Structure 1
């Protein structure tokens, strides 16, 4: 078996990736265009895994790049294509449209007419952005799986990469995935959380959890965690140490931070290689 050599060239004509038996060139110099080209080729030539297995079918339906992040954001709320694009800024517009078509075809999501206040243009700048996408009952059944994957992946998070962003949907999903109802059954508390430039708030009432975007005027505790939130939730940083170091600051009783960490925490597992 001989090794093939791939060559990548970026010039005024676009991006070209070539090998011993192929050459792919995009129109334009944005390297993300190549991702769209490859995905479109995959959608035409994609073969099954040849496995009569539920996991195989699931990966065929939702395992393509960006698919699970689209589902994550739709688990928070229905969205237009433009709203999904803003929450996933690195996805090319054509690729987002393709994923939405694929997920719709698989019965995971469905388009619905939006309200009059919806955006005036979709990710392509076209009309019809009042159309929102929401999960079907079949698609919403993925919630436990998506939350479990989020918990699992969070254990490998290290320092953010230059291209990484923090979004409201990602923070709300993370909070839901780390919530422990048993620790909150006797707690009534509203917490406003500031992390990575995002502000959300949680309402806990005798074990019942509500998650909301933005600040609230009814907060019992306001937490400014920055990117130390993960260390706080997995026990690497205790509330007392976090407050003493100044890595985390609060408005309200510092004792409430202990209750917050008891209700929202990551499991302790052998530390993986940081991603």
Structure 2
């Protein structure tokens, strides 16, 4: 990582920022938390980053042992980037950062957001108390992307790919999913029929598990 500015500080926090604190670096990690991606997939998830900067960040993260490049088996045989086991340990940190940032009064709900960001936000927003006694596996298709969302024992797990035996499935676009999570509009009205299978009451209960946080009080910001 020659040429990078470093803090030259013995604090582990400073060293962590040396590794993942450059602009776009932690967002690259965010894009890989739900599974490997091709370079072009990363560009789709990070539309504001240039090709050169993304290449540089991937090279730096690989040198730091956070990301690795791997060739998929045939018939795909394409190159993908994925987190190492150590890199994957950043998952709870990214979710906690999202939880913290979600309380900022400066967060713009109308700003663009990617599919992976929305799926990871489910972990940040998840209300374990609201999920008491609730257990279900939901298959969620957003555009062309498939995800499995499992809630059990007051915990949530989100992964890329279709579930084997879901209790319900929901296929929608990103804007509709955001409306499902951020508004009280009826499910049938939002989906316009035909895109939800299984117990719709279960889906309604599921969407209530992700309440938006209240902004941090002014007195806590002074």
One fold, TM greater than 0.5?
yes
Q: CA deviation at 1:198?
A: 6.9
Bigger RCO of structures 1 and 2 (CA < 8 A, at least 6 apart): 2
Give the equivalent residue in structure 2 for 1:243: 186
1:228 is aligned, of 179, 182, 186, to 179
The answer to whether structure 1 residue 265 and structure 2 residue 211 are counterparts is yes
Give the equivalent residue in structure 1 for 2:87: 139
* Cα pair distance change 1:159/1:196, threshold 3 Å: farther
CA RMSD of aligned residues (A): 3.7
Q: Distance in 1 between matches of 2:72 and 2:170?
A: 34
Q: CA deviation at 1:174?
A: 1.4
Q: Distance in 2 between matches of 1:204 and 1:135?
A: 24
1:179 is aligned, of 126, 146, 164, to 126
Q: Distance in 2 between matches of 1:136 and 1:198?
A: 22
From the CA coordinates, give the structure whose radius of gyration is larger: 1
SS at match of 1:76: coil
Unaligned runs of at least 5 residues, structure 1 = 1-42, 120-129, 233-238
Q: Equivalent residues in 2 for 1:25-64 (5 A)?
A: 45-64=3-22
* Cα pair distance change 1:91/1:260, threshold 3 Å: same
Q: CA deviation at 1:104?
A: 1.0
Give the equivalent residue in structure 2 for 1:80: 38
* Structure-2-length-normalised TM-score: 0.71
Q: CA deviation at 1:66?
A: 1.2
* Structure-1-length-normalised TM-score: 0.59
CA contact (8 A) 1:243 1:249 kept: no
